[in-house]
Structure 1
């Protein structure tokens, strides 16, 4: 199996050979790595300041692959496991090899060239023989929405006998300006998807691999369902779970708004010269990250030692709370058992010490039902939760949280519907997330908050989250409710 990744540069301060830094593989030294069923090699056929090409060659040993228990047994004839196209055509074997060879690069990390790792650079990828069940048009459908110019040419069964027609393989050329990390993740997912086969058993761990490699692009891909189904070997239960998680992440993708043109962030360029002290710029945080940071800051202002995250999802905020030693107890709830299972996995509850586990209470609960286990908390957070509740159930939420649990303070965040016009990917009148039941203007949020305060004895103040637009305000609106002293 063989593929090449090439880049070019016309900026002397940023030679094309910096590709070696991004891949963490020195162009002057070929490297090899043993992988399941064979050996993967990385070498550079060309390495000049103007153009650099990294080649990946995977030598597959079919006998070792079968003996390892990873070979497929349904090849159709006795020697089918040993005599097949695996040593020559890009497939899940090559995808796994890429994951091992370039793991750090796929995560977007490069301490030596951080700005370059965050930048879109000119890339050319060539896979001479790629199994493609669906033909060249399917390769176009999968790669083109990701920013690639696709040249997929069918390979004839026999060039000497044209009447036999084309094989199921294509000679694939991709060109475009993308982050290298994104390009590698596209290949990692889509090579086995186009082949529509994997050389190993697919289980629930594959969902996490898909979500991780598909972060930032798969949730909004027009063919995400077909990609997900093929990646997970058409196993319906796994596919449904993965699609649910992708749907949840789709709303956050809409809110990721970089404030600079990352394509100009090349080290040594006129716009961004390399600091003499070795400093580096960083990509602006997403709105979701800004929201979490603001909530954490508000909780520190409120004080207290017992806090709750109601509607905690997969536990991203909970993880930050547990890092802060000021909190003696962190309560995390969600109505979804699947979300709680993901939170438990993310937080590594099984690996926690007894002392750590005593600080965390993770259980299933609904924000619209009174739950005595939530009583006595110093503060609770409803971060991007209320908009998922049917409007007719909001009074029940008010009673359960403000009337029964009665925490000392409640922090609520919700989208500002007025700001939606600033999201280019969001069509007019659409919500940011398919599960949102409503999205409020600032006036509507204020009216609901005033009603809660009057009914349950709280005071409220409002804060913006994210960049404030003079016309439509901030993308997220935050309210801090504090329990008033009874007279």
Structure 2
């Protein structure tokens, strides 16, 4: 299977920095399914095309225990359709070969990595099981223009009709990391097949790759079912977490109840206390009123849960929501009903695709900046970049940071020891660790800091969410 990705723009060969693959070199990677080749058929200042070609090794698929599933069935290891689940295998290759690019990280070209860019993706022969317009239904809501051409079963015998394969072209202005994550999730969805045995960690993979766009996708249910191979317990688990991400309270009918679901649904059945995610938002809004803030940014705003009450309060004259995901911002725009607002109301709101790890002059000098449940999604080695971007470059009068309290996790009976509350959390701080980080940031950047509890406080473990309020000392 062959996938090509083309960028047209000034200094187009900068695509190599984003993919972390030198255009002047042919790259070869040994994978569990065979061998992947990355090369550049075109690489000049106006256009750069990167090609990923996958050579499948059916013998290795037999030898690898990872792909056998359960049972003996020796003959079934050799006589099966696994080598033809090419969409799933190509998704595995994308995830392995372009792992760093999928995170959106590029130290050499951070601005290019953080912003949408004109891209064209060619998928040479993709197995598609379902309606002819399935590719359009999956990719168009994500900002792609889709051209899908059915391939004949045999060119010499047109009367035999079309094959189950399509040549697909995607064109759009999309952040590269988002484009790769779209492919990673949707290629096996098109095929409705996977070449390996699905286990419970598959839900985490789906949520990480689908962060910011899957929760609001109109085909969310189909994507979840196919990606998880129609395994009911996994589908219910994913549905619960996605509902929480979209701000819709929901619990799975089967399977475990996660702390993220408890945030949305409340502490316990029959308990009339407000859900933690609502309490957290109300506390943040209360602090913004306490500060007298009128110009506010929510960094990592996701689908816009905090933006809605800000827009409803006319005290806020400038409201900015930023996120790395164009899909999340599209959901936020729909939630805010921006297209139906008056010009005056629309003028109060800006939705910007931006990363909290990169300097962005568009959010500089505001009254307050909020990072609500954001810092734990960022690798610790990138925290210095967050500090520079928010506290040094943007330098608002106040910064509000909330994050989970790891010590409280043991009160969640469904959470195994040492596990974190969300599959995309890179870490979770204890109260001491959070205070140490926040105090250090304040001392280095000219802010004072105070700490507050969010949610019910346990005498020994503290509150489920911890909050730091930074105030600029010269404000």
In the other structure, the counterpart of 1:300 is none
Tell me if 1:337 matches 2:411: no
Tell me if 1:34 matches 2:30: yes
Distance 2:245 2:139 in 1: 21
Tell me if 1:49 matches 2:48: no
In the other structure, the counterpart of 2:219 is 223
Question: Conserved in 2, the CA contact under 8 Å of 1:37 and 1:65?
Answer: yes
Question: Conserved in 2, the CA contact under 8 Å of 1:115 and 1:281?
Answer: no
SS at structure 2 position matched to 1:185:
helix
Distance 2:181 2:119 in 1: 14
- Comparing 52-61 with 134-143, greater Cα deviation is found at 134-143
Question: Conserved in 2, the CA contact under 8 Å of 1:135 and 1:154?
Answer: no
Tell me if 1:381 matches 2:381: no
Question: Conserved in 2, the CA contact under 8 Å of 1:65 and 1:71?
Answer: yes
In the other structure, the counterpart of 2:126 is 130
SS at structure 1 position matched to 2:155:
coil
Question: Conserved in 2, the CA contact under 8 Å of 1:122 and 1:175?
Answer: yes
Distance 2:124 2:22 in 1: 24
1:260–1:333 distance in 2 versus 1, CA, 3 Å: closer
Per-residue CA deviations over 1:269-328 (Å, capped at 9, x if unaligned) read: xxxxxxxxxx9548969x99524599xxxxxxxxxxxxxxxxxxxxx8235xx6xxxxxx
In the other structure, the counterpart of 1:201 is 197
Distance 1:332 1:79 in 2: 44
Structure-to-structure mapping, 1:3-402, within 5 angstroms: 3-9=3-9, 14-71=10-67, 81=78, 86=83, 90-251=86-247, 252-255=302-305, 258=321, 280-281=359-360, 290-291=371-372, 317-318=403-404, 330-332=407-409, 337=414, 342-343=420-421, 380-382=453-455
Question: Conserved in 2, the CA contact under 8 Å of 1:108 and 1:181?
Answer: yes
Question: Conserved in 2, the CA contact under 8 Å of 1:7 and 1:53?
Answer: yes
Question: Conserved in 1, the CA contact under 8 Å of 2:215 and 2:246?
Answer: yes
State the shift of 1:96 in Å.
0.8
Question: Conserved in 2, the CA contact under 8 Å of 1:123 and 1:175?
Answer: yes
Question: Conserved in 2, the CA contact under 8 Å of 1:207 and 1:232?
Answer: yes
Distance 2:462 2:65 in 1: 58
Question: Conserved in 1, the CA contact under 8 Å of 2:372 and 2:403?
Answer: no
Distance 1:70 1:410 in 2: 38
1:122–1:331 distance in 2 versus 1, CA, 3 Å: same
Question: Conserved in 2, the CA contact under 8 Å of 1:2 and 1:128?
Answer: yes
State the shift of 1:86 in Å.
3.4
State the shift of 1:381 in Å.
1.2
Distance 1:214 1:192 in 2: 14
State the shift of 1:67 in Å.
1.4
- Comparing 250-259 with 53-62, greater Cα deviation is found at 250-259
In the other structure, the counterpart of 1:423 is none
Distance 1:244 1:333 in 2: 20
SS at structure 2 position matched to 1:58:
strand
Distance 2:119 2:55 in 1: 25
1:284–1:96 distance in 2 versus 1, CA, 3 Å: farther
Distance 2:140 2:202 in 1: 24
1:50–1:236 distance in 2 versus 1, CA, 3 Å: same
1:410–1:67 distance in 2 versus 1, CA, 3 Å: closer
Distance 1:102 1:159 in 2: 34
Per-residue CA deviations over 1:146-175 (Å, capped at 9, x if unaligned) read: 000011111111222222221111111000
1:198–1:50 distance in 2 versus 1, CA, 3 Å: same
In the other structure, the counterpart of 1:444 is none
SS at structure 1 position matched to 2:218:
coil
State the shift of 1:348 in Å.
7.0
State the shift of 1:37 in Å.
2.4
Question: Conserved in 1, the CA contact under 8 Å of 2:150 and 2:162?
Answer: yes
TM-score normalised according to structure 1 size: 0.57
Per-residue CA deviations over 1:226-272 (Å, capped at 9, x if unaligned) read: 10111011000000001111111113422475469999xxxxxxxxx
Distance 2:40 2:98 in 1: 15
The number of aligned residues is: 324
Question: Conserved in 2, the CA contact under 8 Å of 1:157 and 1:165?
Answer: yes
1:379–1:260 distance in 2 versus 1, CA, 3 Å: closer
Question: Conserved in 1, the CA contact under 8 Å of 2:123 and 2:169?
Answer: yes
Distance 2:421 2:324 in 1: 34
Distance 1:127 1:209 in 2: 23
SS at structure 1 position matched to 2:62:
helix
State the shift of 1:347 in Å.
7.9
CA RMSD of aligned residues (A): 4.4
Per-residue CA deviations over 1:412-444 (Å, capped at 9, x if unaligned) read: 99xxxxxxxxxxxxxxxxxxxxxxxxxxxxxxx
Question: Conserved in 2, the CA contact under 8 Å of 1:91 and 1:131?
Answer: yes
Unaligned runs of at least 5 residues, structure 2: 248-301, 308-319, 327-357, 376-401, 435-450
